[in-house]
């Protein structure tokens, strides 16, 4: 056989950056999730057209402002945005294969994740409507609920990687997985900014 | 041209020992357990195709029953309730369990071969996708068997499908089946896209990707942007219906809106048609190219047409809602867009005709089906353009004219190319050819039966016969045309039977050895038929768009991938320059386990919302096991071990060799 060959044995056996297939797979998944939230926002504005008062007035309590409470919600938003800092530190530490920082940072991320999940449950009680009151409450509960699902999966993913780095240390593949998880987390935090604005300021400004 | 019938030898193993070693690395474990654990794209693709074809047969039986019912006025074969279930399950099955999965299955089988890699990206996700699809199919058909067949039409419009007008669990089954099948479609799309973006053979730059692969890429993007809409809307519907949840998305009394349902459904539903049709155009391009013996005319134009179709395809959904109170300007816009989509499709048809015209066409069975496709699709497209006009649509809406139209596009536009593709690739899957003259009978009976069934429906529609009615009175004068349609459906049945017989006969024969019986240009034919578990011993490289037509033996091959781990080569997205290696996951039982958990969750959520947190909990446990490296349960590993006697026999054979 006299065919020329392309020898790939010297190429790296794994990479940590955006040329990795898993990074692309994650990107495509985020397209799906973003589409889902965009359609949810579409639903919100579509249903808005059916109401004269948004949020609708409660028949049981006249003259009672039914805008959703800002307290826990805003706190949670700030926690989420701030959580990108430790996530980013872990992200960078993966590039240096700095095991200590990754271990501590990931542990912190799991705790922060649990904190945002807990705060989210307080947010629900500040909505002032049950999910089954009307179409307005259906859509805002769904926005919060869907995002909660992402908080749970994101935190679960971080917990898995935390267990791995504490028990097995860090190799290049798992460093890559942590970094992909970080990209997912940035998205979870980022997508909440417009969603927060819509759920909490839509009623005030629309 | 320098084409051979044998596999390209520079891509095959140098000796038997090397072959056996790589084969052992990539072959799934033996036995049933090994079968269930397989993550090989060829196993998965084949399963999709076979399963979807079975669903095609089942939905065809329902169609036959409906046609028998409609053959005579005031017939008593099916009552109204059964008829409702039958047309709903027929339409739902054909769309979600046949057309989309079979197109995706063909892609999952051929995309990795055509781009020259050893397995699809994310093998476990791929396996999970198949099982989720199967779970969705079992849910829908299990429902039908216990008299809980979905019965609100394949698009389940509210308020009919809402809690007030559809008590019971029929619609819940429909909504949850949607979730399962769309998870599957999305998984397949992510796998396909990543495979094409990152695993192409060195040198396969964007302008050298086979058109079938382009079609799968465009389709996968459409899936990614369209399927979330139907998951969301079926989720809203399920929440509105579920006891103790009872949201009001579609309840007008509480500010909900049925038109919202229609918008979201058709935002998915119209692209869905192209998700079915675009892969079919990919098949047509491959068949036309091979059988005319020349490069497809206007390759860049073809690719741009595909992309244009996808973009315009997202701007048409409102044409399904012309009969609802939407603003006039909206109607005009969507009417114009709907007519505009004929342009890229028309361009593609011209390119195929020019290719055939200027080539040396060989009229074998696959090409015959393609010719049938061109004819029927033009007809279906014409009635489509007619329906895009608002005043006409208002007349035809919900009549048999529409039923005729969409069967022309779906059967003419997708099922004909599909049969062509099955004939074309059958030797690749099995190493055997399908019988040519039986194939011609198959084609002509399908063509005749199809037109006999569906052409009269145009006229019936114009005469005012509405769709989804279980019977009609004799005075309408619709009897004769309906009888004709029923006879035609019988002929279609015979035709599909001929195909099944053809397959059975071929499988009964011993395999032939030609790797490239049609003298095709693309890489899937460079390896054995059927392909070995690892696809290519040495990965190919590519320097043109028809690699097997231009001295394939002289092209450099890729060496140096691991022989101990399942490694593939990753190349750059645009130019396919080798970049790094990547280890794929091994065979595993966890994808099946996850599909079982998700399937049970979607079944129990029919009855209680608590199924969701429970399902999440168990899913996370399974996912932890899935991602924790080297973590197959012991009993699975034991069960999947090769039996010692066999391996002893193999070693003695190896010693002889
Ligand atoms: C094989 C031959 C086929 C026959 C004889 C057939 C026949 C029928 C009949 C009788 C109906 C019901 C019409 C009504 O009462 O309104 C129907 C509906 C439908 N068919 Fe087919 N069909 C066939 C194949 C297909 C295929 C291949 C597809 C899609 C890929 C398909 C998709 C549909 C859809 C979406 C509906 C509408 C269901 C609904 O109204 O909800 N059919 N078909
Ligand atoms: Cu449409």
Q: Do A135 and B246 touch (CB under 8 A)?
A: no
Q: Do A8 and B581 touch (CB under 8 A)?
A: yes
Band of pLDDT at residue B551, cut at 50, 70 and 90: confident
Indicate if ligand 1 lies below 6 Å from the C-beta of B485: no
Specify the residue with its C-alpha closest to ligand 1, atom 37. Answer: B91
User: CA-to-CA distance for B632 and B73, rounded, in angstroms?
Assistant: 60
Of A21, A40, A138, the CB nearest to B194: A21
ipTM for the whole complex: 0.95
User: CA-to-CA distance for B162 and B237, rounded, in angstroms?
Assistant: 7
Q: Find how far residue B562's CA is from the centre of its chain.
A: 33
**Distance of residue A154 Cα from the nearest chain B Cα, in angstroms:** 11
Confidence check: pLDDT of A1 > 50:
no
Kindly tell me the burial class for residue B204, based on how many C-beta atoms sit within 10 Å of its own C-beta (0-12, 13-18, 19 or more): buried
Q: Which residues contact B167 (CB under 8 A, 6 or more apart)?
A: none
The rounded percent of chain A whose pLDDT value lies above 90 is 84
* Chain B residues near residue A191 by CB distance under 8 angstroms: none
How far the first Cα of chain A sits from its last, in Å, is 74
CATH of span A19-48+69-205? 1.20.120.80
Are B191 and B146 in contact by the 8 Å Cβ rule? The answer is no
Using CB atoms and an 8 Å cut-off, which of residues 98-137 of chain A contact chain B?
A: 131-137
Indicate which ligand has the atom closest to the C-alpha of B412.
Answer: 1
Q: Which of A10, A21, A113 to mutate to test the interface with B (most CBs of B within 10 A)?
A: A21
Mean pLDDT of all residues in A164-192:
96
B254 to chain A: closest CA residue: A134
Residues found in chain A: 206
A33 to chain B: closest CA residue: B228
Indicate if ligand 1 lies below 6 Å from the C-beta of B264: no
User: CA-to-CA distance for B412 and B600, rounded, in angstroms?
Assistant: 37
User: CA-to-CA distance for B359 and B29, rounded, in angstroms?
Assistant: 46
Q: How far is the CA of B320 from the centre of ligand 2 (A)?
A: 6
Using CB atoms and an 8 Å cut-off, which of residues 91-130 of chain B contact chain A?
A: 121-122, 125
For residue range A46-68, what is the model confidence (pLDDT) as tens digits? 999 999 888 888 766 655 678 89
At which residue do the structure tokens 């099982």 appear? B131
Is A164 at the interface with chain B, CB within 8 A?
yes
Indicate if ligand 1 lies below 6 Å from the C-beta of B66: yes
Indicate if ligand 1 lies below 6 Å from the C-beta of B405: no
Confidence check: pLDDT of A139 > 70:
yes
Q: How far is the CA of B251 from the centre of ligand 1 (A)?
A: 30
User: CA-to-CA distance for A120 and A152, rounded, in angstroms?
Assistant: 11
* Chain A residues near residue B558 by CB distance under 8 angstroms: 5-6, 8
Sheet holding B557-559, edge to edge: A5-7, B557-559, B539-540
Least confident of B83-87, B140-144, B508-512, B574-578: B508-512
Of B255, B580, B623, the CB nearest to A56: B255
Q: How far is the CA of B100 from the centre of ligand 1 (A)?
A: 15
Q: Strand, helix or coil at B392?
A: helix
Q: How far is the CA of B305 from the centre of ligand 2 (A)?
A: 18
**Distance of residue B379 Cα from the nearest chain A Cα, in angstroms:** 34
* Chain A residues near residue B555 by CB distance under 8 angstroms: 3
When computed from its CA atoms, the radius of gyration of chain B, rounded to whole angstroms, is: 25
Band of pLDDT at residue B635, cut at 50, 70 and 90: confident
CA-nearest of A25, A55, A78, A35 to A192 is: A78
How far the first Cα of chain B sits from its last, in Å, is 37
Q: Strand, helix or coil at B466?
A: strand
Beta-bridge mates of residue B580: B570
Mean pLDDT of all residues in B412-433:
96
CA-nearest of B423, B457, B458, B427 to B440 is: B423
The number of beta carbons lying within 10 Å of the beta carbon of residue B558 is: 22
* Chain B residues near residue A43 by CB distance under 8 angstroms: 232, 236, 249, 260, 264
Confidence check: pLDDT of B630 > 80:
no
Indicate which ligand has the atom closest to the C-alpha of B102.
Answer: 1
Q: DSSP secondary-structure letter at A172?
A: H
**Phi, psi (rounded to 5 degrees) for B555:** -80, 145
Give the DSSP per-residue string, B172-203.
HHHHHHHHHHHHHHHHHHHHHHHHHHH-PPTT
The number of beta carbons lying within 10 Å of the beta carbon of residue A47 is: 22
Kind and range of the H or E run holding A181: helix A172-196
pLDDT at B299: 96
Are B561 and A8 in contact by the 8 Å Cβ rule? The answer is yes
CA-CA-CA-CA torsion sign (B437, B441, B442, B446): positive
pLDDT at B649: 46
Indicate if ligand 1 lies below 6 Å from the C-beta of B403: yes
For residue range A67-95, what is the model confidence (pLDDT) as tens digits? 899 999 999 999 999 999 999 999 999 99
Q: Strand, helix or coil at B240?
A: helix
**Distance of residue A122 Cα from the nearest chain B Cα, in angstroms:** 18
Is A43 at the interface with chain B, CB within 8 A?
yes
For residue range A8-22, what is the model confidence (pLDDT) as tens digits? 999 999 898 899 999
Q: Find how far residue B577's CA is from the centre of its chain.
A: 30
For residue range B440-458, what is the model confidence (pLDDT) as tens digits? 999 999 999 999 999 999 9
User: CA-to-CA distance for A108 and A102, rounded, in angstroms?
Assistant: 10
Q: Strand, helix or coil at B478?
A: coil
Confidence check: pLDDT of B654 > 70:
no
Are B320 and B266 in contact by the 8 Å Cβ rule? The answer is yes
Indicate which ligand has the atom closest to the C-alpha of B337.
Answer: 2
Confidence check: pLDDT of B648 > 80:
no
Are B34 and B28 in contact by the 8 Å Cβ rule? The answer is yes
* Chain A residues near residue B257 by CB distance under 8 angstroms: 46-47, 50, 135
Is B264 at the interface with chain A, CB within 8 A?
yes
The rounded percent of chain B whose pLDDT value lies above 90 is 83
A7 to chain B: closest CA residue: B559
Give the helix ranges, DSSP H, for B359-511.
365-387, 390-396, 400-407, 416-430, 436-462, 479-508
Confidence check: pLDDT of A38 > 90:
yes
Are A49 and B325 in contact by the 8 Å Cβ rule? The answer is no
Q: Do A47 and B560 touch (CB under 8 A)?
A: no
Structural tokens at position A162: 């935390």
User: CA-to-CA distance for A178 and A106, rounded, in angstroms?
Assistant: 9
Give the helix ranges, DSSP H, for B244-364.
258-292, 299-313, 328-340, 342-358
User: CA-to-CA distance for B469 and B134, rounded, in angstroms?
Assistant: 30
B249 to chain A: closest CA residue: A135
Beta-bridge mates of residue B464: none
User: CA-to-CA distance for A183 and A187, rounded, in angstroms?
Assistant: 6
Confidence check: pLDDT of A120 > 90:
yes
Structural tokens at position B450: 């199809």
CA-nearest of B282, B100, B115, B257 to B197 is: B115
Indicate if ligand 1 lies below 6 Å from the C-beta of B154: yes
Mean pLDDT of all residues in B235-263:
96
Structural tokens at position B633: 């349960």
Q: Do B628 and A47 touch (CB under 8 A)?
A: no
Kindly tell me the burial class for residue A124, based on how many C-beta atoms sit within 10 Å of its own C-beta (0-12, 13-18, 19 or more): middle
Indicate if ligand 1 lies below 6 Å from the C-beta of B102: no
Least confident of A46-60, B101-115, B212-226, B641-655: B641-655
Of B227, B561, B580, the CB nearest to A14: B580
pLDDT at B335: 86
Using CB atoms and an 8 Å cut-off, which of residues 188-217 of chain B contact chain A?
A: 189-190, 193-194, 197-199, 202
Mean pLDDT of all residues in A21-26:
96
Confidence check: pLDDT of B202 > 70:
yes
Specify the residue with its C-alpha closest to ligand 1, atom 20. Answer: B91
pLDDT at B71: 97
User: CA-to-CA distance for A164 and B208, rounded, in angstroms?
Assistant: 42
CA-CA-CA-CA torsion sign (B1, B4, B5, B10): negative
Are B133 and B101 in contact by the 8 Å Cβ rule? The answer is yes
Of B121, B190, B248, the CB nearest to A138: B248
Q: Which of A2, A24, A48 to mutate to test the interface with B (most CBs of B within 10 A)?
A: A24
* Chain A residues near residue B231 by CB distance under 8 angstroms: 36
Mean pLDDT of all residues in A104-122:
97
Using CB atoms and an 8 Å cut-off, which of residues 441-500 of chain B contact chain A?
A: none
Q: Which residue has the higher pLDDT, B504 or B316?
A: B504
Q: Do B248 and A20 touch (CB under 8 A)?
A: no
CA-nearest of A18, A152, A194, A193 to A91 is: A18
List of E strands, B461-614 = 539-540, 557-559, 567-571, 578-583
Are B383 and B376 in contact by the 8 Å Cβ rule? The answer is no
User: CA-to-CA distance for B274 and B226, rounded, in angstroms?
Assistant: 11
B629 to chain A: closest CA residue: A164
State chain B's mean pLDDT as an integer.
Answer: 93
Are B79 and B469 in contact by the 8 Å Cβ rule? The answer is no
Is B254 at the interface with chain A, CB within 8 A?
yes
The rounded percent of chain B whose pLDDT value lies above 70 is 97
CA-nearest of B189, B211, B199, B26 to B117 is: B199
Confidence check: pLDDT of B197 > 60:
yes
pLDDT at B443: 98
CA-nearest of B155, B153, B156, B164 to B248 is: B164
Confidence check: pLDDT of A40 > 90:
yes
Q: Do B257 and A28 touch (CB under 8 A)?
A: no
CA-nearest of B385, B373, B365 to B349 is: B373
Q: What is the pTM of this model?
A: 0.95
pLDDT at B644: 58
Q: Which residues contact B457 (CB under 8 A, 6 or more apart)?
A: B400, B401, B403, B404, B407, B481, B485
Mean pLDDT of all residues in B229-234:
97
Q: Strand, helix or coil at B116?
A: coil
User: CA-to-CA distance for B524 and B531, rounded, in angstroms?
Assistant: 8
pLDDT at A14: 87
Q: DSSP secondary-structure letter at B399?
A: B
Indicate if ligand 1 lies below 6 Å from the C-beta of B99: yes
Q: Which residues contact A184 (CB under 8 A, 6 or more apart)?
A: A26, A30, A154, A157
Mean pLDDT of all residues in B508-537:
90
Confidence check: pLDDT of B650 > 70:
no
User: CA-to-CA distance for B428 and B288, rounded, in angstroms?
Assistant: 17
User: CA-to-CA distance for B268 and B313, rounded, in angstroms?
Assistant: 10
Specify the residue with its C-alpha closest to ligand 1, atom 12. Answer: B87
Confidence check: pLDDT of B186 > 70:
yes
Are A164 and A62 in contact by the 8 Å Cβ rule? The answer is no
């Amino acid at each position: 056989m006299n065919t020329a060959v392309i020898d790939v044995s010297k190429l790296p056996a794994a990479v940590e950056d955006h040329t990795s297939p898993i990074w692309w797979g994650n990107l495509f998944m985020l397209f799906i999730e973003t589409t889902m939230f965009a359609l949810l926002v579409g639903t919100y504005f579509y249903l808005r057209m059916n109401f004269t008062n948004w949020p609708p007035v409660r028949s049981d309590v006249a003259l009672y402002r039914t805008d959703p409470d800002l307290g826990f919600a805003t706190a949670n938003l700030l926690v989420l945005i701030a959580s990108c800092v430790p996530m980013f530190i872990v992200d960078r530490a993966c590039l240096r294969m700095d095991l200590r920082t990754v271990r501590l940072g990931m542990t912190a991320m799991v705790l922060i994740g649990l904190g945002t999940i807990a705060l989210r449950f307080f947010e629900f009680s500040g909505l002032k409507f049950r999910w089954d009151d009307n179409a307005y409450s259906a859509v805002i509960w769904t926005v919060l609920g869907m995002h909660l699902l992402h908080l749970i999966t994101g935190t679960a993913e971080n917990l898995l990687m935390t267990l791995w780095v504490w028990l097995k240390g860090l190799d290049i593949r798992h460093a890559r997985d942590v970094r992909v998880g970080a990209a997912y987390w940035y998205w979870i935090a980022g997508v909440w900014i417009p969603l927060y604005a819509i759920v909490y300021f839509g009623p005030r400004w629309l | 041209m320098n084409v051979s019938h044998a596999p390209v030898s520079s891509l095959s193993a140098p000796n038997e020992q090397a072959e056996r070693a790589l084969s052992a690395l990539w072959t799934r474990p033996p036995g049933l357990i090994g079968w269930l654990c397989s993550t090989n794209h060829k196993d998965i693709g084949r399963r999709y195709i076979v399963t979807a074809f079975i669903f095609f047969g089942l939905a065809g039986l329902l169609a036959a029953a409906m046609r028998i019912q409609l053959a005579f006025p005031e017939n008593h074969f099916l009552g109204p309730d059964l008829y409702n279930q039958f047309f709903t399950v027929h339409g739902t099955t054909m769309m979600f369990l046949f057309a989309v999965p079979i197109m995706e299955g063909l892609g999952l089988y051929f995309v990795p071969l055509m781009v020259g890699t050893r397995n699809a990206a994310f093998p476990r996700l791929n396996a999970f996708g198949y099982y989720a699809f199967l779970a969705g199919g079992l849910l829908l058909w299990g429902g039908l068997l216990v008299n809980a067949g979905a019965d609100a039409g394949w698009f389940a419009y509210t308020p009919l499908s809402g809690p007030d007008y559809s008590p019971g669990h029929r619609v819940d089954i429909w909504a949850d089946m949607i979730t399962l099948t769309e998870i599957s479609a999305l998984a397949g799309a992510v796998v396909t896209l990543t495979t094409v973006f990152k695993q192409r053979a060195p040198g396969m730059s964007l302008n050298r990707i086979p058109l079938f692969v382009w079609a799968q890429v465009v389709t996968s993007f459409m899936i990614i942007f369209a399927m979330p809409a139907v998951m969301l809307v079926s989720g809203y519907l399920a929440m509105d219906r579920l006891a103790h949840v009872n949201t009001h998305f579609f309840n007008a009394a509480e500010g909900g809106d049925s038109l919202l349902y229609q918008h979201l459904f058709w935002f998915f539903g119209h692209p869905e048609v192209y998700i079915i049709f675009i892969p079919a155009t990919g098949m047509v391009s491959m068949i036309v190219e091979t059988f005319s013996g020349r490069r497809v005319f206007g390759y860049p134009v073809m690719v741009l047409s595909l992309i244009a179709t996808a973009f315009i395809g997202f701007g048409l959904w409102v044409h399904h809602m012309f009969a609802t109170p939407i603003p006039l300007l909206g109607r005009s816009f969507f009417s114009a867009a709907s007519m505009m989509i004929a342009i890229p499709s028309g361009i593609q048809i011209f390119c195929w005709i020019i290719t055939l015209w200027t080539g040396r066409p060989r009229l074998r069975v696959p090409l015959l089906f393609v010719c049938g496709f061109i004819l029927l699709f033009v007809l279906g497209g014409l009635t489509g353009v007619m329906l895009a006009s608002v005043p006409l649509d208002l007349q035809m809406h919900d009549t048999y004219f529409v039923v005729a139209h969409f069967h022309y596009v779906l059967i003419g536009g997708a099922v004909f190319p599909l049969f062509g593709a099955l004939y074309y690739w059958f030797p690749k899957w099995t190493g055997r050819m399908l019988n040519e003259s039986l194939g011609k009978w198959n084609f002509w009976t399908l063509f005749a039966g199809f037109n006999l069934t569906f052409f009269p429906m145009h006229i019936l529609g114009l005469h005012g016969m509405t769709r989804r009615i279980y019977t009609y009175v004799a005075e309408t004068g619709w009897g004769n045309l309906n009888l004709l349609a029923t006879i035609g459906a019988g002929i279609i049945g015979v035709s599909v039977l001929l195909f099944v017989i053809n397959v059975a006969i071929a499988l009964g024969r011993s395999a032939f050895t030609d790797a490239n019986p049609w003298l095709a240009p693309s890489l899937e034919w460079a390896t054995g038929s059927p392909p070995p578990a690892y696809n290519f011993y040495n990965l190919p490289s590519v320097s043109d768009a028809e690699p097997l037509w231009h001295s394939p033996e002289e092209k450099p091959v890729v060496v140096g991938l691991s022989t101990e781990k399942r490694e593939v080569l990753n190349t750059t997205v645009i130019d396919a320059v080798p970049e790094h290696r990547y280890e794929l996951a091994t065979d595993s039982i966890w994808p099946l386990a996850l599909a079982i958990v998700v399937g049970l969750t979607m079944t129990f959520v029919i009855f209680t919302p608590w199924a969701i947190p429970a399902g999440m909990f168990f899913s996370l446990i399974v996912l932890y096991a899935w991602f924790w490296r080297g973590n197959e349960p012991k009993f699975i590993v034991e069960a999947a071990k090769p039996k010692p006697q066999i391996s002893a026999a193999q070693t003695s054979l190896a010693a002889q060799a």
